[in-house]
Amino acid sequence: MHEFSICTNIVESVIAEYEKIEPGPVRLLKVRVVVGKLHQIVPETLLSAYEVLTKGTIAENSQMEIEFVDVCCQCNKCLWEGEIDYPFFICKECGSGDIALIHGKELYLKNLEVEYDETG
């Protein structure tokens, strides 16, 4: 259940970014996060954690969207680049295990969708 720990950081970032918006919005509608598949996040657990951790905050009742990033690597031997069959870090072209990770470890807040009042 590392999703709650990860989500705690996400909620803290959401609140910090929301408070920076000028002029101040009326409410937060949606939060989009990018998560690399190497984090092995269970989407339902992360969404549940978000709902629990946002209670009583400016993020309460907002929605979270998760964008997953596949595990991609480049082979240091034949220079093939592409998706791998995680958890096997093997080049699909030459079978080498000498590969470098390109994508799959991402974890960041992509953007916030907010609502302004009619004057904002």
The CA distances from residue 91 to 49, 87, 97, in Å, are 36, 12, 6
Q: How confident is the model at residue 85 (pLDDT cuts 50, 70, 90)?
A: confident
Entry pTM: 0.87
Reduce the DSSP state of residue 16 to 3 states and report it. helix
- Which CATH number goes with the domain that contains 67? 3.30.2320.80
User: Is 119 inside any structural domain?
Assistant: no
User: Is 120 inside any structural domain?
Assistant: no
Of 74 and 86, the one with more pLDDT:
74
Rounded distance between C-alpha atoms, residue 2 and residue 21, angstroms:
29
User: Is 51 inside any structural domain?
Assistant: yes
Domain membership of residue 7 as a residue range:
2-112
User: Is 78 inside any structural domain?
Assistant: yes
User: Is 12 inside any structural domain?
Assistant: yes
| Tokens standing for residue 113 | 């969708």
Does the pLDDT of residue 120 top 70, yes or no? no
**Angle at Cα 48 formed by Cα 85 and Cα 44, nearest 5°?**
30
User: Is 117 inside any structural domain?
Assistant: no
Q: How many domains in the chain?
A: 1
Q: What is the mean pLDDT of the chain?
A: 94
User: Is 11 inside any structural domain?
Assistant: yes
